[in-house]
Structure 1
Amino acid sequence: MSRPQTLASLGKVVVIGGCGFLGSHIVKYIVERHPQTQVAVIDLRTSSNRHASPTVSYHDGDITDFAGMTKLFSKIKPDGVIHTASPHFDLKPEIHDKVNVGGTKNLIKVAQDTGVKAFVYTSSASVILDATAELINADERWPIVTGAAQPEYYTTTKAYAETAVLEANRKPENFFTCAIRPAGIIGEGDVQILPKMVGAYRKGQTKFQIGENNNLFDFTYVGNVAHGHVLGLIALLQTQKMLPTTPLDSERVDGQAFFITNGEPVYFWDFARAVWHEAGDRLPLSSVWHLSADTAWAIGTVLEWAFWVLGKTPNLSRAQVRYSTMSKYHSISKARQRLGYEPIVSLGEGIRRGVQHILAQQEQESQKKGQ
């Protein structure tokens, strides 16, 4: 079997949500590493994050529209699908249900009906996170957490979607599925983690720290997440070619979930300070104020209620306190053994790329305003 990285063509691949943060990096990865692959991007709006490549086509489409998806898939005739589309986690529960669960089930049925061979789903590392336990080198044997025990309803719907994808594996026999569970994605185009941290630096908020900074946390460069998705797709396509032979249980990728991280768990506030340093912060550690987790929790509770009355969001919430003081990191041994996954960009380099991208964008916006 040839090395996955040497395969020039993966056939025809549809990237759902390919104009989003992760999806656009997956398209970029395929164009660069598998240049003979025909990539079709399907997104609600395909006007942003486009790649000027003759091997990439763009198609506006709504995954909750079964008939529309059937028409597109029948036209494109893809060999593989990478499904990254998901609404912002702050939106209403009914939107998460409609898109994450309903939309994903639509795509599964359309893929099965139109002869797709391989289906890779972007899940979340948080599907095993509950409201109390810490995640310490957690692996895929940990149970999925949904419903009242799951802190975020968004994650519950991601878990339901992952379950639907994995249950569809080998239905029909030549249809193969897997799920990728990334943790804390950062990089160029990140809209959640790095922009908020750079914003905290701009507001002069780097002089505070919650807790003792003894909690390890996973952050993952987006290019590594793209790498993991494509390795999953390649493994499924190769499994399809091996039919009727079935891989050993210890080697199987189809029907499986995989954590993908940088494999570099870092103390939470060390990560924050690395981001701030890249953005220009030079505050000495001796000037940092330490706030206990209990005190911060109490402050966050008060602020949430006060800002709720005003219809606004506070700078400090209980969820932020928890995530900045808990351990949350995962094992990537299964991905290494079965996908041949190794991170291709270090965490330090990922931070540099992501922050410099934000600073460059801010500089461009500043110049436009000054014209």
Structure 2
Amino acid sequence: MPGPNPIPSFGKVLVVGGCGFLGAHIVSLILKRHPQSQVAVLDLRTTSNRHASPSVSYHDGDITDASAMQALFTQIKPDVVFHTASPHFDAPSKIHDKVNVEGTDILIKAAQDSGVKAFVYTSSASLVIDASMTVVNADETWPLITGAAQPEYYTTTKAFAETAVLAANRTPSSFLTCAIRPSGIFGEGDVQLLPPMLSACRKGQNKFQVGANTNLSDFTYVENVVYGHLLAAQALLQTHAMLPTIPLDSERVDGEPFFITNGQPVYFWDFARAVWHAAGDRKTLRDIWVLDRDFAMAVGTILENACWLLGKKPNINRKQVRYSTMDRYYNIDKARKRLGYAPLVSLDEGIKRGVEALLEKERREGEKKAQ
């Protein structure tokens, strides 16, 4: 099992999706904590989030192109693969199928054929959410929800991909896999959580709250998610070094999924207000209008239909209402015990860093436009 000191090198590492939000942070933390590693980044386009380090190489490629992936894996011969690539949540269903399911199958085959030792897949905590939209202290024994029972088709395809990754464990016996299930990732470079919240604040939507704010949610600072990935890779490599010995079930990492969060469930609107406060908002609870959930759902339905006719995007929709009023938090005891995981950065500090980075990015972009 992982010790207190990280191994100095992962050997040759391939970060799939390494120019994306999470992938780029994985590259950063590998360079910091495992500096003797050689890192290759694979992405559809490798023009953003690049690291100016002689230890990092960049490779443009499509994970749905089987022959290209076989050639790349043969060239790099990675010891460790981090598979973070995934289409945008709102992409068409056929794209989710092609990238999340077909692309993952292609990567697994290329990894098996090229002698990869450790394969860490970035899954999703949403795999256990069903139509009830209630997740309270969920752990890894909860069943995966797919098909008609799963509210989001994207999540169904992530579940299929995770299942394929874990089923491939020890096929061959030297190929070890696991899955990391993060919840609500945010931080520097985030494009899906902090920017929309900041935009809502600037539109004056921060004076509204949907529901009574009694629902707990897990949000996870990106460096903590990355740390979970690196601990998983370290554990798989240590298990690989002990082959053919198989760890006890209570200690095993290979073939297993792990929820990774900040371990600090927070009321949803408290998180939003913390983000707004970090951005300079100083509204008090006296300034907030509380909207009944059912009323907000009705408004969301009307706005969705009206904006669809006009070809516009509504300021509020039913999905936003559901996710801002549901309980969604997870138990990370398994990651604590088997990976030795503990969050590196608190929720408050993560919010501070993420918002500061976003405001700085906006400042730089504003200066460029002004020139």
TM class, shorter-length: over 0.9
Offset, 1:5: 3.9
- The alignment status of 1:298 with 2:298, answered yes or no, reads yes
- The alignment status of 1:63 with 2:68, answered yes or no, reads no
Offset, 1:133: 4.2
Cα distance in 2 between the residues matched to 1:208 and 1:278 = 18
Cα distance in 2 between the residues matched to 1:104 and 1:139 = 24
Cα distance in 2 between the residues matched to 1:324 and 1:188 = 22
Cα distance in 2 between the residues matched to 1:2 and 1:217 = 29
Offset, 1:298: 0.6
Extract unaligned runs of 5+ from structure 1: none
**1:47 match:** 47
Offset, 1:367: 1.3
**1:222 match:** 222
1:203 is aligned with what amino acid? Answer: K
Q: Contact between 1:4 and 1:231, CA under 8 Å: does it hold in 2?
A: no
Identity level (%): 68
Q: Contact between 1:128 and 1:143, CA under 8 Å: does it hold in 2?
A: yes
Q: Does 125-134 or 211-220 show the bigger shift? A: 125-134
Cα distance in 2 between the residues matched to 1:260 and 1:303 = 35
Offset, 1:313: 2.0
Cα distance in 1 between the residues matched to 2:169 and 2:42 = 22
Q: Contact between 1:140 and 1:259, CA under 8 Å: does it hold in 2?
A: yes
1:259 is aligned with what amino acid? Answer: F
Offset, 1:102: 0.2
Task: Evaluate the alpha carbon distance shift between residue 4 and residue 48 of structure 1 in structure 2; reply closer, same or farther with a 3 A threshold.
Answer: farther
Cα distance in 2 between the residues matched to 1:74 and 1:5 = 31
Residues 271-308 of structure 1: per-residue CA shift (max 9 Å, x gap): 00000000110112101000010100110111111112
Offset, 1:366: 1.4
Offset, 1:2: 6.6
TM-score normalized by structure 2?
0.99
Q: Secondary structure at the match of 2:245?
A: coil
Cα distance in 2 between the residues matched to 1:238 and 1:281 = 47
**1:265 match:** 265
Q: Contact between 1:183 and 1:260, CA under 8 Å: does it hold in 2?
A: yes
**1:110 match:** 110
- The alignment status of 1:328 with 2:328, answered yes or no, reads yes
2:27 is aligned with what amino acid? Answer: V
**1:143 match:** 143
1:14-163 equivalence runs, <5 A: 14-163=14-163
Q: State the superposition RMSD in angstroms.
A: 0.9
Residues 1-30 of structure 1: per-residue CA shift (max 9 Å, x gap): 772643111111100000000000000000
Q: Contact between 1:221 and 1:350, CA under 8 Å: does it hold in 2?
A: yes
Q: Contact between 1:123 and 1:182, CA under 8 Å: does it hold in 2?
A: yes
Cα distance in 2 between the residues matched to 1:329 and 1:229 = 19
Cα distance in 1 between the residues matched to 2:360 and 2:313 = 27
Cα distance in 1 between the residues matched to 2:69 and 2:2 = 33
Extract unaligned runs of 5+ from structure 2: none
2:101 is aligned with what amino acid? Answer: V
Q: Does 20-29 or 358-367 show the bigger shift? A: 358-367
Q: Secondary structure at the match of 1:6?
A: coil
Q: Secondary structure at the match of 2:27?
A: helix
